[in-house]
Amino acid sequence: MSIDWITVAAQIVNFLILIWLLKRFLYRPILDGIDAREAEIAARMGEAAALRKTAEAKEAEYRTQIADLSASRAEMLETARHDAEKERDQLLARARGRAAEEQSERDAHRLVEAKQYTADLHQIGAEALLSLTRKALADLADETLEHRIAVHAAAQLENMADELREAAGGSREAVALTRDPLPDDVQSRLRDDLASILPGFGLRFEVDPALSPGLNLRLGGAQVGWTIDSYLNGLDAALEERGGRPLRKSLTDAA
């Protein structure tokens, strides 16, 4: 079998032309496309890396902000708690102060009421004692209370003559103070008794409804009295000596 070198040469030339054509019109566009694709992929990867770095920076920034917000929130909560406790303490202090003031006012009001109640009972007791004394003197001795006061006062004044004369100083007038006007005969007797005990002294009578029943005698800087109050005070002392509480204190406690 003989080789046709012309045909072989033609086929080789055709093959080379085919390879050149494939490379020129097929492989080169494909390679250029691959290169462009690789470049695009590399660019996108670079962009992705840049975006990732940016995202990481943003994440770090956000984490820092969150940490700062958490710290600020904790500080704000602590401040709010402290302010709330301070306000609570102030409210409690004001409430306690107000309660103490109200209690003090109630105590003062009760004390005033107790004193008034005691004064009223004392007045009632004085009136009752006065009434009973008048009745006892009238029924048993056929004598008035005013006459007995005059007799008692005269006896006491006689024992106190020197002291009263010294206390009178330059004054020569005595004043008899009573709650109710004294009968004329009692006034006359008191003048006579004073004139005999303290010669040269006059006696003037005055009425004061605020006084306790009885007689008060004022002479210069001295004043002596024989009133229902003195007997109630004596009753208080007697009760206290016997181990009981004074009448007025008991009345105050009861009020």
Q: What is the pLDDT of residue 199?
A: 84
Q: Are 198 and 166 in contact (CB under 8 A)?
A: no
User: Which of the 8 DSSP states describes residue 244?
Assistant: S
Give the contacts of 219 (CB within 8 A, at least 6 positions apart).
Answer: 164, 167, 168, 171, 174, 175, 201
Q: Which residues of the chain have pLDDT under 70?
A: 1-2, 121-123, 125-127, 129-130, 132-148, 150, 228-255
Token output for 169: 């100083």
Query: Cα(150)–Cα(193) distance, rounded to whole angstroms?
Result: 9
In terms of DSSP bridges, do strands 202-207 and 173-178 run parallel, antiparallel, or are they unpaired?
parallel
User: How far is CA 223 from its chain centroid?
Assistant: 46
Query: Cα(251)–Cα(213) distance, rounded to whole angstroms?
Result: 21
Token output for 74: 């904790």
Q: Which residue has the tokens 């007799």?
A: 151
Cα 163-126-137 angle, rounded to 5 deg: 80
Q: What is the pLDDT of residue 116?
A: 81
- Give me the residues paired with residue 223 across strands: 218
CATH pick for 144-254 out of 3.30.2320.50, 3.10.450.50, 1.10.246.90, 3.40.50.300 = 3.30.2320.50
Token output for 149: 């006061």
Q: Which residue has the tokens 């840049």?
A: 50
Q: Phi/psi zone of residue 136: left (φ > 0), alpha (ψ -120 to 50 degrees), beta?
A: alpha
Query: Cα(86)–Cα(110) distance, rounded to whole angstroms?
Result: 35
pLDDT digits (tens, 9 = 90+) for 126-150: 667 667 665 665 555 455 666 667 6
Q: What is the pLDDT of residue 236?
A: 53
Q: What is the pLDDT of residue 2?
A: 67
Query: Cα(159)–Cα(156) distance, rounded to whole angstroms?
Result: 5
- Give me the residues paired with residue 202 across strands: 173
DSSP symbols for 80-97: HHHHHHHHHHHHHHHHHH
pTM for this one? 0.40
Domain ranges (residues) in the chain: 144-254
Give the number of other CB atoms < 10 A from CB of residue 4.
9
